[in-house]
Amino acid sequence: MRITQGTFSFLPDLSDAEIRAQIDYALAQGWAIGVEFTDDPHPRNCYWEMWGNPLFDLRSATGAMTEVLACRTARPQAYIRVNAFDATRGFETTRLSFIVNRPHHEPGFLLKRHEVGGRQIQYTLESYAAQLPEGRRYE
Amino acid sequence: MSAAAANRSDGAAADGVDLSALSADSHVNDVLDELDRELIGLKPVKARIRDIAALLLVERARKQLGLNGGAPSLHMSFTGNPGTGKTTVALRMAQILHRLGYVRKGHLIAVTRDDLVGQYIGHTAPKTKEILKKAAGGVLFIDEAYYLYRPENERDYGQEAIEILLQVMENQRDDLVVILAGYGERMQTFFRSNPGLSSRIAHHLDFPDYLAPELEQIAQRMLLAMQYRLSDSGAAALRDYIPLRMQQPHFANARSIRNALDRARLRQANRLFAQRGRRLTRDELMTIEGEDLRASRVFA
């Protein structure tokens, strides 16, 4: 199951030229770029790991693209996303975030229904990939 | 339709390309004319910049017809004495390269050794790479590049920065131009001890010293920009001042002239302040008199 998180995730995967264009847009807005990766696809997982330092003061997407490509080479089977951070007072948050790499096979999620008091059901979403230990998922 | 045919968009027919249309398209002539107008002297430098612009235009035309020679290497070295306009020309160069589509953004990042070389083991590479990322899409201007190489200390981290630069100059041919700048003789020694660097630099531009009349024009230009002007006696004093200043030690061409003018402004302010109590006209506030320049120590 293809996970859909962040901007553009319902579109087909972005090509490198499209990623570059989006980064250029973010830089034109004055946002800083960060590259992050993870192998835990759960939508509530907000602890992605950073690839290198955040990239401040870039003028062209070339520098960020080299980081994206380097991350992709090092972790071809991880989810990689590009974040654009807006430091403007009042925002001080990520303004744009999109996935630029995903594993070849995404096994999807198991939906667990847990019956509690009465007919009430609690739902739990569990990724099949995350059943393996970290680092061995998506091999 | 082949890929080459698809690339053909602006002004190119199947059988040829109109170079003048292409150059009008990129507005490169505006920048070149501006360069001619605003920078005094520097004939060999301007000629070389025109050559480079022509090369890039032709390369563009060739690309439109599907001829691909690979992007030419445009890394440069600017050598010349202090104050001969290396940084100013580098700024213009970034604009020209941008107009001609050689770099994507056309900004200039000016750095020195401190920005590239780290202070402990493992600090240099990330530092240099960060600067390179910032410069990507524009021009990286390394001022006084010879400080990167310190032969007297073989464990100096400068060498590491040079090696990273070399790699990038080799790979990123199409999106970054590195300009190494510095004073003539020391740059020669630097290139001799780093032959790899020298051979990757296609264009060695030498900035000649300015002649006295050129310096005079530069001074007039600077005053105009600062909204001052010289009285007749002021112009005469400047004409006497320049040859004398040129003989002084530590003469730094245009930079010395700028400093001289700044000092003249100081004296003019002092002179006007001494006459306080009466209304000053706009003209008086703008004019630098001969006495403001003649008070300089070079006349002593």
pLDDT band at B172 (very low <50, low <70, confident <90, very high): low
- The ipTM, to two decimals, is 0.75
A61 near B CB under 8 A: yes
Distance separating alpha carbons of residues B8 and B207, to the nearest angstrom: 39
User: Comparing B21 with B172, which gets the higher pLDDT?
Assistant: B21
Tokens of B85: 């306009």
- Do B134 and A64 make contact, defined as CB atoms within 8 angstroms? no
Residue A94 reports pLDDT greater than 70: yes
Q: Cα A103 from chain centroid?
A: 12
| Residues on chain B touching A67 (C-beta within 8 angstroms) | 133
- What is the predicted pLDDT for the residue at A79? 95
Name the DSSP class of A133.
P
Judged by a CB distance cut-off of 8 A, whether residue A17 touches chain B is no
Dig out the tokens for B114 from the structure.
């401190």
Asked if A63 lies within 8 A of B172 by C-beta distance, the reply is no
Distance CA B93, CA B86 (A): 10
Partner residue opposite A62 with nearest CB, options B109, B130, B137: B137
Q: How far apart are CA B251 and CA B192, in angstroms?
A: 27
Collect all residues with Cβ–Cβ distance below 8 Å to B49 and sequence separation of at least 6: B32, B35, B89, B92, B93, B96
Q: Which of B105, B126, B130 comes nearest A59 by C-beta?
A: B105
Reported as a pLDDT band with limits 50, 70 and 90, residue A89 is very high
DSSP B146: G
Contact yes or no for B190/B149 (Cβ under 8 A): yes
Q: In this complex, is the C-beta atom of B132 within 8 Å of any C-beta atom belonging to chain A?
A: yes
Q: Residue B95 above 90 pLDDT?
A: no
Spatial separation of the C-alpha atoms in residues B239 and B244, rounded to whole Å: 9
Beta-carbon pairs below 8 A across chains A and B: 40
Q: pLDDT of B196-234, one tens digit each? A: 888 888 889 999 999 999 999 999 999 999 999 999 999
- Which member of B126, B130, B137 has the closest CB to residue A60? B137
Per DSSP, the three-state class of B286 is helix
Cα–Cα distance for residue pair B64/B13, rounded to 1 Å: 9
Which residue in this structure is represented by tokens 């050559």? B51
Q: Which amino acid is at A92?
A: E
Tens-place pLDDT, residues B229-282:
999 999 999 999 999 999 988 899 999 999 999 999 999 999 999 988 888 899
Residues 136-195 of chain B whose Cβ lies under 8 A from any Cβ of chain A:
136-138, 172, 175-176
Q: Is the pLDDT of residue B173 over 90?
A: no
* pLDDT classification of B13: cutoffs 50, 70, 90: low
pLDDT tens, position by position, A51-61: 989 999 898 89
Q: How far is B136 from chain A (nearest CA, A)?
A: 6
Pick B137's closest partner by Cβ from A53, A57, A59. Answer: A59
Please report the pLDDT score of residue B14 as a whole number. 57
Mutate to test the interface with B, among A33, A62, A67 (most CBs of B within 10 A): A62
Residue with tokens 């000053």: B280
Q: Is residue B149 within 8 Å of residue B194, measured between CB atoms?
A: yes
Residue A4 touches chain B, beta carbons under 8 Å: no
The string over B260-283, giving b where at least 16 C-beta atoms fall within 10 Å of a residue's C-beta and e elsewhere, is bbeebeebbeeeeeeeeeeeeeee
Partner residue opposite B134 with nearest CB, options A53, A59, A61: A59
- The residue among A27, A59, A71 with the most chain B CBs within 10 A of its CB, best to mutate, is A59
- Give the tens place of pLDDT for each residue, A20-55: 999 999 999 999 999 999 999 998 898 999 998 999
For B104, nearest residue in chain A (alpha carbons): A60
Find chain B residues with C-beta within 8 A of A59's C-beta.
Answer: 105, 107, 109, 134-138
Sign of CA dihedral B34, B35, B39, B41: negative
- Cα nearest neighbour of B133 on chain A: A63
Indicate the angle between helix axes B28-38 and B19-26, nearest 10 degrees. Answer: 70
